[in-house]
Chains A and B, each alone.
Chain A
Amino acid sequence: GAVVSQHPSWVICKSGTSVKIECRSLDFQATTMFWYRQFPKQSLMLMATSNEGSKATYEQGVEKDKFLINHASLTLSTLTVTSAHPEDSSFYICSARTSGTQYFGPGTRLTVL
């Protein structure tokens, strides 16, 4: 149980375009999901907390207008990186919370050319 999926697993896009990443809890409902970013050889950095039916809560320094989060249902949260730039290239990982524990998706590797 407690399986979280992400799609796509990797994406390459041109600078200035937008990319949407989906995070799904497959076998449980999650009122709260989280989005992290991880640069090579660095630790996880929490970007935002996504709450079903309400606005996401962003961490300090994360631009909410650049990283749009939508948690439209109890099993789906999406992260849209708008007007992507090469410095946005990173490993984006979501997690979903159930029974007090966070389970991570497999991650999405974004490369912006």
Chain B
Amino acid sequence: QKEVEQNSGPLSVPEGAIASLNCTYSDRGSQSFFWYRQYSGKSPELIMFIYSNGDKEDGRFTAQLNKASQYVSLLIRDSQPSDSATYLCAVNRYNTDKLIFGTGTRLQVFP
């Protein structure tokens, strides 16, 4: 079992719809959770992070964390073609600086 698992996709959604990206992790000691977006040929850019159970909203993005289920998700409202990218889930285990990355989910938003 991989430490951080994501569906590779592609996830295809129409413009204006909600895109839901999911991520599960295996280490219950994980403390911090991050979502990065990576366009083809570019480096990852931080979208948002979440530490506590529940929802965290930032503009069109909402991160959801459920530590009991070891599950973190990212919702993108009013999806735009410019949101088409690979979304990387990353987890920071307790007492370590390292991030453990999932393999990413490719999102395609079509007009």
- The answer to whether A49 touches B88, judged by C-beta atoms less than 8 angstroms apart, is no
For A107, the chain B residues whose CB sits under 8 A away are 42-43
Smallest Cβ-Cβ distance to A107: which chain B residue? B43
17 more A-B residue pairs beyond the given contacts A43-B101, A102-B90, A103-B46, with a C-beta to C-beta distance below 8 A:
A34-B97, A43-B104, A44-B44, A46-B99, A49-B97, A91-B41, A93-B44, A100-B32, A100-B49, A101-B32, A101-B49, A102-B34, A102-B46, A104-B46, A106-B42, A107-B42, A107-B43
Partner of B34, one of A32, A44, A91, A101: A101
Of the candidates A34, A101, A106, the one having the most CB atoms from chain B within 10 angstroms of its own CB is A101
Mark B76-111 against chain A: 1 for CB-CB distance below 8 A, else 0.
000000000000101010000111011110000000
24 contacts between A and B (CB under 8 A): A34-B98, A34-B99, A43-B102, A43-B103, A44-B88, A44-B101, A46-B98, A49-B97, A91-B41, A91-B43, A100-B32, A101-B32, A101-B34, A101-B46, A102-B34, A102-B46, A102-B90, A103-B46, A104-B44, A104-B45, A104-B46, A105-B43, A106-B42, A107-B43
A interface residues, tally (CB under 8 Å): 17
Smallest Cβ-Cβ distance to B36: which chain A residue? A104
For A85, the chain B residues whose CB sits under 8 A away are none
Q: Tell me the bound Cα distance from A97 to B90 in angstroms.
A: 14
A30: shortest Cβ distance to chain B, in Å?
11
Smallest Cβ-Cβ distance to B31: which chain A residue? A100
Chain A binding surface SS class: strand
For A46, the chain B residues whose CB sits under 8 A away are 98-99
- The answer to whether B92 touches A100, judged by C-beta atoms less than 8 angstroms apart, is yes
A97: shortest Cβ distance to chain B, in Å?
6
Q: Tell me the bound Cα distance from A91 to B98 in angstroms.
A: 19
For A103, the chain B residues whose CB sits under 8 A away are 46
Q: Tell me the bound Cα distance from A75 to B34 in angstroms.
A: 23
Q: List 6 A-B pairs, minimum CB-CB distance, nearest first.
A: A107-B43, A43-B103, A104-B43, A93-B43, A104-B44, A32-B97
- The answer to whether A49 touches B92, judged by C-beta atoms less than 8 angstroms apart, is no
Q: Tell me the bound Cα distance from A43 to B92 in angstroms.
A: 17
